[in-house]
């Protein structure tokens, strides 16, 4: 009898079937970050941003998914803070590991963040990659109608284009599977939850709100963001907009 897809996934990613990882085979560790070239844009120091204080209790109690936002832009300070609190690096262990504001299995941190900028003061609309190692933004080539392309690829969820920014969390899966083989995929998906939850928790402090997005056309989103869809693919997304 054919096994339920959930069981197939659990088996494929269970310790019993993972097989030997590339780490155990002695293959070199992939870089901690996807390579990049081009001129980057400085982000302000996220720890110096002047923001209203909010207790963790209040952040947790106010957390909710919000799908419509004011037209108001966010500031670079606010963007910088949101990026740091979701994927920022708080400590480097040489060239072998990063420790960030979220946990990650084996500290493998397999995500890159690509952001669609719609309304950020001092930043042109378009597509950028967050370079976590330097806390900078790398402008990416994008069509003038990139926002509407991404709205459509996210099953016409207009919040993607209405928000000040929409973050796309891209797995660079080999960073995880190099150590954990098939089980690494499980960890990539679990890790994504932590990242998005942090965005939910800081959104209110920024006078903003967010909403997790898991419903999108994988092939289309990966194609628009020029990801191979095999090793690099979007796992999760979330807009951030003023409320």
Site residues for ligand FMN per CB under 6 A? 64-65, 67, 157, 211-215
d(CA 152, CA 73): 22
Q: Closer CB to ligand FMN, residue 91 or residue 215?
A: 215
Closest listed residue to residue 163, CA positions, set 213, 123, 207, 117: 117
Q: Specify the residue for token string 């609309």.
A: 125
Minimum distance from residue 215 beta carbon to ligand FMN (Å): 3
d(CA 111, CA 34): 9
Minimum distance from residue 97 beta carbon to ligand FMN (Å): 27
Using CA atoms, how far residue 206 sits from 75, 124, 164, 173, 212, in Å, is 10, 21, 12, 31, 17
Q: Closer CB to ligand FMN, residue 157 or residue 205?
A: 157
Minimum distance from residue 149 beta carbon to ligand FMN (Å): 17
**64: exposed, middle or buried (Cβ count in 10 Å: 0-12, 13-18, 19+):** exposed
Q: Closer CB to ligand FMN, residue 131 or residue 211?
A: 211
Q: Closer CB to ligand FMN, residue 85 or residue 221?
A: 221
Cβ-proximal residue to ligand FMN, closest one: 214
Minimum distance from residue 137 beta carbon to ligand FMN (Å): 25
Q: Closer CB to ligand FMN, residue 184 or residue 239?
A: 239
Minimum distance from residue 191 beta carbon to ligand FMN (Å): 13
**Phi, psi torsion values for 29, nearest 5 degrees:** -70, 135
**Phi, psi torsion values for 122, nearest 5 degrees:** 90, 5
């Amino acid at each position: 009898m054919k096994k339920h897809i959930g069981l197939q996934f659990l088996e494929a990613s269970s310790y019993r079937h993972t097989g030997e990882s590339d780490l155990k085979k002695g293959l070199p560790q992939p870089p901690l970050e996807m390579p990049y070239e081009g001129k980057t844009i400085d982000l302000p120091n996220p720890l110096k941003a002047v923001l209203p204080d909010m207790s963790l209790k209040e952040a947790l109690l106010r957390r909710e998914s919000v799908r419509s936002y004011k037209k108001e832009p966010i500031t670079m300070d606010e963007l910088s803070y949101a990026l740091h609190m979701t994927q920022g690096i708080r400590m480097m262990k040489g060239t072998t590991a990063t420790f960030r504001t979220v946990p990650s299995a084996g500290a493998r941190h397999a995500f890159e963040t690509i952001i669609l900028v719609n309304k950020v003061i001092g930043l042109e609309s378009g597509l950028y990659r967050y370079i976590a190692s330097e806390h900078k933004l790398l402008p990416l080539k994008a069509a003038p109608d990139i926002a509407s392309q991404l709205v459509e690829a996210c099953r016409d969820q207009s919040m993607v284009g209405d928000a000040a920014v929409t973050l796309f969390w891209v797995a660079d899966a080999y960073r995880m599977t190099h150590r954990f083989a098939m089980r690494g995929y499980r960890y990539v998906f679990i890790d994504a939850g932590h990242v998005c939850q942090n965005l939910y928790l800081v959104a209110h402090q920024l006078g903003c709100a967010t909403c997790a997005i898991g419903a999108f056309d994988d092939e289309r989103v990966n194609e628009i963001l020029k990801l191979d869809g095999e090793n690099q693919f979007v796992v999760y997304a979330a807009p951030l907009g003023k409320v």
